[in-house]
């Protein structure tokens, strides 16, 4: 699909059709990257996206135990201050 670049202040922009936005799941922010002579626009991903669901599944399987539990001696702070 061809589209014209439009002036936006000192910059230029392109209108992206709604169908493209929905198909690519583009919201209010995007990541822009120049690769060779191509402009790549992709949806912003949150660094910890999906962690809540993964932790929930781990807890259901009982796979959420601390790996280093018991490897270090408890400190006074661990036993008196910290509330598990």
**Residue 84 pLDDT class (50, 70, 90 cuts):** low
Cβ–Cβ < 8 Å for 52, 46: no
Q: What is the pLDDT of residue 71?
A: 74
Cβ–Cβ < 8 Å for 16, 26: yes
Helices (H), 38-82: 51-61, 76-80
Quick one: DSSP state of residue 10?
T
Partners of 31 in the β-ladder? 42
Q: What is the pLDDT of residue 63?
A: 87
Task: Report the SS3 class of residue 51.
Answer: helix
Among residues of the chain, what percentage have pLDDT more than 70?
Answer: 96
Mean pLDDT score, 42-69: 86
Domains (ranges, CATH) in the chain?
5-43 (2.10.260)
Mean pLDDT score, 13-35: 93
């Amino acid at each position: 699909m061809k589209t014209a670049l439009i002036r936006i202040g000192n910059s230029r922009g392109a209108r992206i059709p709604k169908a493209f936005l929905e198909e690519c799941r583009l919201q209010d922010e995007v990541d822009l990257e120049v690769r060779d002579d191509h402009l790549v626009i992709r949806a912003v991903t949150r660094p910890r996206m999906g962690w809540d669901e993964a932790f929930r599944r781990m807890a259901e399987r009982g796979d959420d135990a601390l790996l280093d539990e018991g490897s270090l001696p408890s400190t006074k702070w661990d036993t008196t201050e910290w509330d598990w």
